[in-house]
């Protein structure tokens, strides 16, 4: 039996506490597969650049969602709305057929999109993947997207909350402040 040294365990716990203090939007990353769609809850999402529009997600390297996204060359990022905590929890477990428990459809690009629990989505073509530790950072060029109504679901301090303080008017141009 291998034991983790105490200082390393303490450092890992400290790292979890630090990262858990940063509120993050909650998404479900989905990918097509020959035997049915795959999906997992993910709070590691970031925009990378606007030209071309690119984002990055960090997925557990051993996940079937990652394998499907890489094999199929694409994935979707479903940004959950504030009332979708149940969906976030479903996709963070090992429930065998998660998609049977939520509303979803296949997009024109062939990607699984959640239909009832999202406030926005992005369809992506895999452009690069970099394995780091037990996760793989996947870069996706955005090929389609949509924004619906509703405040996003956020996660911090090991709990979910709805962010209901979003502005209801479009962003103002940079010089218009």
Q: Residue 176 pLDDT more than 50?
A: no
Report residue 30's pLDDT band, with 50, 70 and 90 as the boundaries: very high
Q: Residue 22 pLDDT more than 90?
A: no
CB within 8 A of 169, min separation 6: which ones? none
* Predicted confidence (pLDDT) per residue in 1-12, tens digit: 566 665 666 777
Closest CA to 101 of 87, 111, 113: 87
Of the chain, the percentage scoring pLDDT greater than 90 comes to 67
Q: How many angstroms separate the Cα of 48 from the Cα of each of 4, 115, 142, 147, 174?
A: 35, 26, 11, 19, 20
Return mean pLDDT, the chain: 87
Closest CA to 77 of 117, 124, 131: 124
HEC secondary structure over the chain: CCCCCHHHHHHHHHHHHHHHCCCEECEEEEECCCCCCEEEEECCEEEEEECCEEEEEEEECCCHHHHHHHHHCEEEEEEEECCCHHHHHHCCCCCCCHHHHCCEEECCCCCEEECCCEEEEEEEEEEEEEEECCEEEEEEEEEEEEECCCCEEEEECCEEEECCCCCCCCCCCCCCC
Mean pLDDT of 48-67: 96
Report residue 175's pLDDT band, with 50, 70 and 90 as the boundaries: very low
**End-to-end Cα distance, the chain:** 61
Report residue 56's pLDDT band, with 50, 70 and 90 as the boundaries: very high
Q: What are the residue boundaries of the structural domains of the chain, listed by start?
A: 25-148
The neighbouring-strand residues paired with 60 are 135
Q: Residue 172 pLDDT more than 50?
A: no
Q: What is the pLDDT of residue 29?
A: 98
* Predicted confidence (pLDDT) per residue in 109-124, tens digit: 999 999 999 999 999 9
Which has more pLDDT, 1 or 24? 24
Considering 46-55, 92-101, 147-156, 167-176, the range whose residues carry the highest mean pLDDT is 46-55
Closest CA to 41 of 23, 18, 57, 55: 57
Mean pLDDT of 62-68: 96
Q: Residue 169 pLDDT more than 70?
A: no
**Which architecture, in CATH terms, is 25-148?**
Roll (2.30)
Instruction: State pTM to two decimals.
Output: 0.82
Give the Cα separation of 143 and 173 in Å (integer). 24
Q: What is the pLDDT of residue 19?
A: 59
């Amino acid at each position: 039996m291998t034991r983790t040294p105490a200082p390393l365990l303490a450092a890992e716990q400290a790292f979890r506490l630090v990262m858990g203090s940063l509120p993050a939007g909650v998404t479900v990353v989905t990918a097509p597969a020959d035997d049915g769609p795959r999906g997992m809850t993910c709070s590691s999402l970031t925009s990378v650049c606007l030209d071309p529009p690119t984002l990055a997600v960090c997925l557990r390297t051993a996940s079937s969602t990652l394998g499907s996204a890489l094999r199929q060359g694409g994935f979707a990022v479903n940004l959950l709305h504030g009332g979708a905590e149940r969906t976030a929890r479903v996709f963070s477990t090992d429930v065998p057929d998660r998609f049977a428990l939520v509303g979803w459809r296949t997009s024109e690009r062939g990607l699984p999109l959640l239909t009832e629990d999202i406030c926005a989505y992005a369809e992506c073509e895999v452009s690069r993947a970099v394995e780091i530790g037990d996760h793989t950072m996947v870069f996706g060029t955005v090929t389609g997207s949509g924004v619906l109504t509703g405040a996003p679901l956020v996660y911090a301090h090991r709990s979910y909350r709805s962010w209901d303080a979003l502005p209801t008017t479009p962003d103002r141009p940079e010089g218009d402040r």
